[in-house]
Structure 1
Amino acid sequence: MKKLHEIQIIGQLKNIEGWDYKNGYLYKSYKFKNFKETFSVMTRIAFECEAQNHHPEWENVYNSLTIKLNTHDVGGITQNDFDLAIAIESIVNSQS
């Protein structure tokens, strides 16, 4: 796993809608209809995280979910973070 440079990160962010880069993390916040829908999406994301062996930092309050990604082993962003962000987007978009 190679740590990506900021220029690479900014370039790849163009491929995933709504994600930002701040303080060493890729992050995005979501709003859902209610807690049940939010928790359902979180569960689906958790299974994907296990499959990829890559786990986010996240925070949930009622119908909101904020996800932060980085690769702790390299102290920054890697392709694994982008792969997981793309998978998360797919999960969230399939919920709609």
Structure 2
Amino acid sequence: MSTTRLDIDALTTALADLNALGQGGWSLSGDQLCKTFIFPDFVRAFGFMTQVALIAEAMDHHPDWSNAYAHVRVALSTHEAGGITERDVELAWHMERLSSRG
């Protein structure tokens, strides 16, 4: 997976694809790909984070995120590239897949 920073056209396409895949909510904030996932309760939010953590560790690509009860706010960026790369988009796809499982 490339760690080359995505250009605006690739970012626009990735953002549209991610929002079409799931419940929407992905946005760009500076050099980060962001979304707040909302779950029915804390246990499901924390379970989601646990599942994502295993994938992120295997990818050696760790999200900046926070949890407040049933909300998980995610900000993805590849620090060594200084912005969003294919690795961030791949991790976002995994997050969408896992969040749709309920």
2:6 aligns to what?
4
Does 2:49 align with 1:42? Answer: yes
Match of 2:59?
52
Counterparts of 1:12 and 1:32, CA distance in 2 = 24
What corresponds to 1:71 in structure 2?
Answer: 78
Aligned length: 95
Gaps of 5+ in 1: none
CA distance in structure 2 between the partners assigned to 1:90 and 1:52 by the alignment: 16
**Worse-matched range after superposition: 48-57 or 5-14:** 5-14
The two structures, once aligned, show a CA RMSD in angstroms of 0.9
Is 2:90 aligned against 1:83? yes
Q: Secondary structure at the match of 1:73?
A: helix
Q: For the residues of structure 2 that align with 1:33 and 1:8, how far apart are their CA atoms? A: 33
Shift of 1:36: 1.1
What is the CA distance between 1:66 and its match in structure 2? 0.5
**Hey, what's the Cα distance between the residues in 1 that align with 2:95 and 2:59?**
11
Aligned partner (choices 36, 40, 46) of residue 33 of structure 1: 40
TM-score (ref. length: structure 1): 0.93
- Unmatched runs of 5 consecutive residues or more in structure 2: none
**1:7 aligned partner, one-letter code:** D
| Counterpart code for 2:97 | S
**Within the alignment, does 1:21 sit opposite 2:23 as a pair?**
no
Q: Which TM-score applies when normalising by structure 2?
A: 0.88
Distance in 2 of aligned mates of 1:47 and 1:84: 11
